[in-house]
Amino acid sequence: MYLIVGLGNPGNKYAGTRHNIGFSAITYLSDHFRISLNQNKHKAIFGTGYIGSEKVILAMPQTFMNLSGESVRPLADFFKIPPSNILIIFDDISLDVGQLRIRKKGSAGGHNGIKSIIQHLGTEEFPRIKIGVGEKPQGWDLADHVLARFPEQQEEAVRQSLLDATDACEKIIEDSIEAAMNIYNQKKRDAR
């Protein structure tokens, strides 16, 4: 069983922002694999279903981003899922818009949502899919950048990255994280 968690901030105000790309990815997965997000417990909106023959839980924490671990840990405990089967999807400002980077483990790299999950799980050893949202423009405040929506000319790259993230999740679950890394860590897009 896998727990796939997309990170974001709850509320309409944040919908569609760079920081909420994890929520967007969960919505894509939900639609693609016909998994209804119809439960609200453990500080998360989530649903259970299957990717291939593997049971999965898709979840969107309803804490704010920097408290994501307060939702991920109770979900993991309730469903008895080890960190190696907790797949986190989140935004990364060091990657170009639409670029994916898959990792087996690692530090928070300055991402407060990941920092909270590491703190609550007590380990950095959980897989993750980073979706590039682009660097902040010079002179911009980081919060203003990640809480802004993508400009129209980047929408196609964003949509493709969400399709890639959906495929990457399936590859990780049905094959291996290494197989997914071999495919998606090589792809580079020009979203400018």
Question: Where do the DSSP E strands lie in 8-111?
Answer: 39-41, 44-51, 54-61, 86-92, 100-103
pLDDT at residue 141, as a whole number: 81
Cα(110)–Cα(97) distance, integer angstroms: 18
Say what the pTM is: 0.93
> Tokens 């924490």 map to which residue?
61
What CATH code is assigned to 2-184? 3.40.50.1470
Which residue of the set 19, 42, 111, 120 is catalytic?
Answer: 19
Two structure tokens written together for 14: 């944040």
From the list 33, 68, 27, 65, the residue with the least C-alpha distance to 46 is 27
Instruction: Give the pLDDT of the chain (192 residues) as one tens digit per residue.
Output: 999 999 999 999 998 888 899 999 999 999 999 999 999 999 999 999 999 999 999 999 999 999 999 999 999 999 999 999 999 999 999 999 999 999 999 999 889 999 999 999 999 999 999 999 998 888 888 778 888 888 888 999 999 999 999 999 999 999 999 999 999 997 664 443
Catalytic-residue membership of 32 = no
pLDDT at residue 61, as a whole number: 98
Residues in the chain: 192
Strands in 86-92's sheet, in edge-to-edge order, are 39-41, 44-51, 54-61, 2-6, 86-92, 128-132, 100-103
